[in-house]
């Protein structure tokens, strides 16, 4: 089943009297249970697309095209309706778990904010939070709930951010460079965690990374971007076995 359809998406930023094009006429679809990778160098427009889908672009952004979710164009939704969609229907894991967590609140209180619509009973919420943290194989989850972010490792914080993003059972998870801010020794664990979630929950994901090797291990299909434009998109196996564009060939060569 098709969950998300992006049609001719263009995003530019107005700075004084000048307009800077960040994304140009991007189109793709995301099916239930599919992991779609978006690859490209910094500045290629990957994260801009993610923010456009969630409706969290800066005020000077100008966006055109369509982002169809559940049969309706998100670009025509009100801010109030988008607030209800974010986290509940479409959720996101950001690059740096340290900035995604409030440094002065213990972990479970941060989950309380997310789960406010579920229950006001903290004993009920504590059970839900524990379950979510254990679902991402976080060691000592019961203890972690009562810790501050600074007391935790980068890998632990990223697992918590993933658990938080999945707290309201969204249909689509956007993972924006989910391993870029953590130690190399932990990256493989996080990648395996995301693969496990896909298999276990049939979760649809948009997985953004500059690392093609990482995308190869996770994604069903891959989009290659350069300067805000899709230059190639295909099944992951085809991207690696029969790349069509010189830029794609160069990216693959860089990881071999």
pLDDT at 256: 61
CATH number for the domain that contains residue 144 = 3.40.50.300
Q: At a CB cut-off of 8 Å and minimum separation 6, what does 19 contact? A: 12, 13, 62
pLDDT tens digits, one per residue of 86-137:
999 999 998 888 888 999 999 999 999 999 989 999 999 999 999 999 988 8
What is the strand order of the sheet 18-31 is part of?
Answer: 18-31, 2-15, 61-69, 72-73
Percent of the chain surpassing pLDDT 90:
71
The whole-number pLDDT of residue 151 equals 96
Which of 189, 192, 179, 241 is closest to 218 using CA atoms? Answer: 192
**Residue, of 24 and 138, whose pLDDT is higher:** 24
- State residue 104's pLDDT score: 95
Can you give the residue range of the structural domain that contains 172?
2-253
In this prediction, residue 99 carries a pLDDT of 86
User: Into how many domains does the chain fold?
Assistant: 1
Q: What is the pLDDT of residues 170-228, one digit of tens each?
A: 999 999 988 877 777 778 888 888 888 888 888 899 999 988 988 999 999 999 999 99
């Amino acid at each position: 089943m098709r969950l998300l359809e992006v049609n001719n998406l263009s995003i530019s930023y107005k700075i004084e009297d000048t307009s800077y094009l960040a994304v140009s006429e991007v189109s793709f679809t995301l099916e239930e249970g599919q992991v779609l990778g978006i690859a490209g160098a910094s500045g290629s427009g990957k994260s801009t697309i993610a923010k456009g889908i969630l409706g969290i672009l800066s005020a000077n952004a100008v966006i055109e095209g369509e982002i169809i979710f559940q049969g309706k164009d998100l670009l025509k939704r009100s801010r109030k309706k988008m607030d209800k969609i974010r986290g509940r229907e479409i959720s996101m894991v950001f690059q740096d778990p340290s900035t995604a967590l409030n440094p002065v609140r213990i972990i479970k209180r941060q989950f309380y904010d997310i789960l406010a619509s579920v229950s006001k009973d903290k004993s009920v919420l504590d059970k839900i939070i524990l379950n979510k943290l254990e679902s991402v194989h976080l060691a000592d989850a019961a203890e972690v709930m009562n810790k501050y972010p600074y007391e935790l490792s980068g890998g632990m914080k990223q697992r918590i951010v993933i658990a938080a993003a999945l707290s309201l059972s969204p249909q689509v998870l956007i993972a924006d460079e989910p391993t870029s801010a953590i130690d190399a020794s932990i990256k493989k664990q996080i990648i395996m965690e995301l693969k496990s979630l896909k298999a276990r929950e049939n979760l649809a994901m948009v997985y953004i990374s500059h690392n093609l090797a990482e995308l190869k291990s996770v994604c069903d299909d891959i989009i290659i971007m350069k300067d805000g434009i899709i230059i190639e998109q295909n099944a992951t196996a085809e991207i690696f076995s029969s790349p069509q564009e010189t830029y794609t060939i160069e990216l693959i060569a860089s990881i071999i």
